[in-house]
Amino acid sequence: FQGIAPVEYITRLGLDRADFNESGYEFWGKISTLKAGLNFATRITTVSPSYARELLTEEYGMGLDGVLRARAEDFSGILNGIDDVVWNPETDPHIASYKTPKGKRRAKAALRKEFDLPKSDGPLCVVVSRLSDQKGLDLLLEALPALVDRGGQLALLGSGDKVLESRFRAAAAAHPFISVKFGYDEGLSHRMIAGADAILVPSRFEPCGLTQLYGLRYGTVPIVAYTGGLIDTVIAATPMALRMNVATGLSFHPTTSDALARALLQAVQLFADPPTWEELQKNGMRQPVGWEASAIEYARLYHEATAAA
């Protein structure tokens, strides 16, 4: 998504040929409109502070990290937010309203019934995602025994890579604690996030991510890879964070199936300690996941940019 085009498009796009150089829009002998934007913008933003730092590296910069490093003083990451009116467990029209753990339990029972999952003492985890390797779902397939062999369950809603669809379909056929639905259903996604104990976001990279924010809002503990905006939005349940009662989820690193399996095992263990798990849920629900703080940051940035123009 770098706006790459052949040199012959310069005239058609109305570009100034004098800017076809390293400081303009030239990119390996072609046009890059993204590079033009990075070079000529007054300020540059992306959707989380950690992703902004990652983009300055060769691993994440996709050939434009040098441009971003040169503009580092003008480059910032501001977290995305969610519509906390649409995503509100007290008023959500897709679910039975809940304000207490009892309401959460009712939503979980209804979700199990909808996915034809049997009762279990383990945590019910959900995935609501595009099915792709970028989202780390191939890693999840390899790590699932750490969850389902210990009484945990998985409900998945998504579409995308047909090979991954086939593999998840086979996993569901092989184990009664795995259930999958393919496609997208807005109402079902709300019911899943409302009824689950945990939501899985094992992405290989994630500029910001929204599903972990939905999880926090609904008391559904995020289990996330340590990357991008997932770093900025989830406080991992380390021993110190648990002692200080500030943890809001679980995080794993490196982004491998073994590390994800360890995080799933930790989730099963924490879930078996209801007071600790409830604190994770409550801490998450206290997090400000709407747009208020981010809107203030954007307004400040735009004020600075216009004042400097």
Could you give all domains of the chain from N- to C-terminal order, each with its CATH number? Answer: 4-77 (no CATH), 101-285 (3.40.50.2000)
Q: Is the dihedral of CA 11, 13, 14, 15 positive or negative?
A: negative
Mean pLDDT to the nearest integer, 92-108: 82
Question: What is the pLDDT, as a whole number, of residue 309?
Answer: 74
Helices (H) and strands (E) counted in the chain, each on its own, are: 16, 11
Do 220 and 193 meet the contact criterion of CB atoms below 8 Å apart? yes
Helix intervals (H) in 13-91: 33-40, 49-55, 58-61, 65-70
Distance CA 114, CA 273 (A): 27
Mean pLDDT, the chain, integer: 96
The number of beta carbons lying within 10 Å of the beta carbon of residue 309 is 6
pTM: 0.94
- pLDDT tens profile 245-302: 999 999 999 999 999 999 999 999 999 999 999 999 999 999 999 999 999 999 999 9
Do 237 and 270 meet the contact criterion of CB atoms below 8 Å apart? yes
Distance CA 217, CA 147 (A): 24
Q: Which residue from 211, 205, 206 is spatially nearest to 184, judged by alpha carbons?
A: 211
Distance of CA 40 to the CA centre of its chain: 30
- pLDDT tens profile 162-180: 999 999 999 999 999 999 9
Q: Is the pLDDT of residue 98 over 80?
A: no
The proportion of the chain whose per-residue pLDDT surpasses 70, expressed as a percent, equals: 98
Q: Is the pLDDT of residue 100 over 70?
A: no
Mean pLDDT to the nearest integer, 60-87: 97
Question: What is the pLDDT, as a whole number, of residue 102?
Answer: 74
- pLDDT tens profile 6-32: 999 999 999 999 999 999 999 999 999
